[in-house]
């Protein structure tokens, strides 16, 4: 999230691995050593797979070593039923691959966030739509099923309302039910307005609850929980400095097209590094306490749609007998 570099300049707020890579490339004009990138273009979705291969690359990226899969779809903000189904299927395929295509998996789905703050309500909304089955396995005294996996789900709330660290709650549940994997869903933050509510990131490195709103808590990861943690997140907010920086960049582009190509003033502005612009804007906003988190005005409808897409993807990926023609039956 937000931190200072060695020169005490504010770094741009982002939770997306692909954006951390972009920032490095823009500054250094080269690829990060120890990072592999693969991109796949589908009909409506662009898939970017970033693999952080060693600890040195992880330090440069500011992200733990592991796999980060990003699905970009600009139509997500106004997705119709067909596009929702398409993105759910793509997500299910990627999620199934990152979990190792395991059969008879036991999974705990965790919806991180605050029900009462709409941009932070993605996790709880997803949990409300996940098809949970652990109680059925217990009732029928079964260990395996050809069509269903053992899925349990919890939305633990936030420490401000529970008084308990989220990681402590999840660790207690994990020790009790012993899942094979934890799937954690949370809101994230992006450095680009265009990616807000239009991007889904899947990673096998865990997550820090509240990171999207700048309130990092103890990480949910394999080191802390003792089981693999798959993180699914959508950037639902940008901070005001990022929003302003993007706006200024668009204004500069517009003025540059209209002004003489040799205009020293516009060329100087255009050559400013992203972090330089961000640091300047942040410095201006800080005395007025104006660097707030910003989200689109139609966030209520967007979160409802995104939660359905992600829940469908989870249901299809984890339950072997559930496919697209069945999945919407389980959505409230």
pTM of the model: 0.84
Calculate mean pLDDT across residues 122-129. Answer: 96
The alpha-helical segments, DSSP class H, found in the chain are 17-28, 55-61, 81-98, 122-127, 134-139, 159-162, 166-177, 222-225, 240-258, 264-270, 274-285, 299-318, 324-327
Q: Of the ranges 96-100, 130-134, 259-263, 326-330, which one carries the lowest mean pLDDT score?
A: 259-263
pLDDT computed for residue 100 by the predictor: 86
115 contacts: CB under 8 Å, gap ≥ 6:
121, 124, 155, 157
pLDDT in tens, 162-190: 888 899 999 999 999 999 999 999 999 88
pLDDT computed for residue 153 by the predictor: 97
Answer with the residue of higher pLDDT: 207 or 208: 207
Give the C-alpha separation, 277 to 81, whole Å: 39
What totals of helices (H) and strands (E) does the chain contain, helices first? 13, 9
Q: Classify burial at 40, counting beta carbons within 10 Å of its beta carbon; exposed 0-12, middle 13-18, buried 19 or more.
A: exposed
pLDDT computed for residue 3 by the predictor: 39
Q: Does position 275 have pLDDT exceeding 70, yes or no?
A: no
Calculate mean pLDDT across residues 279-306. Answer: 76
Residue 204 pLDDT grade (very low, low, confident, very high; cuts 50, 70, 90)? very high
Mean pLDDT, all residues of the chain = 84
321 contacts: CB under 8 Å, gap ≥ 6:
145, 146, 147, 148
319 contacts: CB under 8 Å, gap ≥ 6:
131, 133, 147, 148, 149, 151
**Domains of the chain and CATH, by start:** 17-242+291-330 (3.40.50.1450), 243-288 (no CATH)
| Span between the terminal Cα atoms of the chain, in Å | 33
Q: Does position 5 have pLDDT exceeding 60, yes or no?
A: no
Element (H, E) at 52: strand 46-52
Q: Does position 246 have pLDDT exceeding 80, yes or no?
A: no
């Amino acid at each position: 999230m937000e931190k200072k570099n060695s020169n005490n300049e504010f770094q741009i707020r982002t939770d997306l691995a692909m954006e951390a890579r972009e920032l490095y490339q823009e500054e250094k004009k080269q690829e990060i050593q120890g990072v592999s990138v693969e991109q796949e273009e589908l009909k409506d979705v662009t898939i970017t797979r970033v693999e952080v291969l060693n600890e040195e690359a992880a330090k440069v990226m500011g992200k733990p070593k592991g796999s980060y899969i990003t699905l970009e779809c600009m139509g997500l903000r106004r997705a119709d039923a067909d596009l929702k189904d398409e993105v759910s299927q793509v997500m299910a395929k990627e999620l199934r691959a990152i979990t190792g295509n395991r059969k008879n998996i036991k999974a705990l789905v965790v919806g991180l966030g605050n029900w009462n703050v709409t941009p932070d309500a993605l996790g709880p909304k997803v949990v409300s739509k996940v098809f949970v089955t652990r109680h059925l396995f217990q009732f029928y005294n079964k260990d395996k099923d050809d069509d269903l996996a053992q899925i349990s789900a919890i939305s633990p709330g936030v420490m401000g309302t529970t008084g308990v660290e989220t990681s402590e709650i999840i660790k207690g549940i994990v020790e009790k039910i012993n899942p094979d994997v934890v799937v954690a869903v949370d809101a994230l933050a992006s450095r680009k307005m265009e990616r807000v509510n239009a991007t889904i990131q899947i990673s096998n490195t865990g997550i820090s609850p509240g990171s999207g709103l700048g309130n990092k808590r103890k990480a949910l990861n394999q080191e802390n929980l003792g089981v693999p943690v798959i993180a699914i997140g959508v950037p639902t907010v940008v901070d005001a400095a990022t929003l302003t920086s993007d706006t200024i960049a668009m204004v500069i582009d517009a003025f540059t097209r209209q002004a003489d190509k040799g205009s020293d003033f516009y060329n100087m502005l255009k050559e400013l590094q992203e972090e330089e612009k961000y640091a300047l804007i942040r410095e201006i906003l800080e005395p007025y306490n104006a660097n707030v988190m910003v989200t689109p005005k139609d966030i209520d409808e967007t979160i409802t749609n995104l939660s359905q897409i992600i829940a469908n993807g989870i249901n299809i990926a984890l339950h072997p007998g559930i496919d697209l023609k069945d999945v919407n039956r389980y959505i409230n």
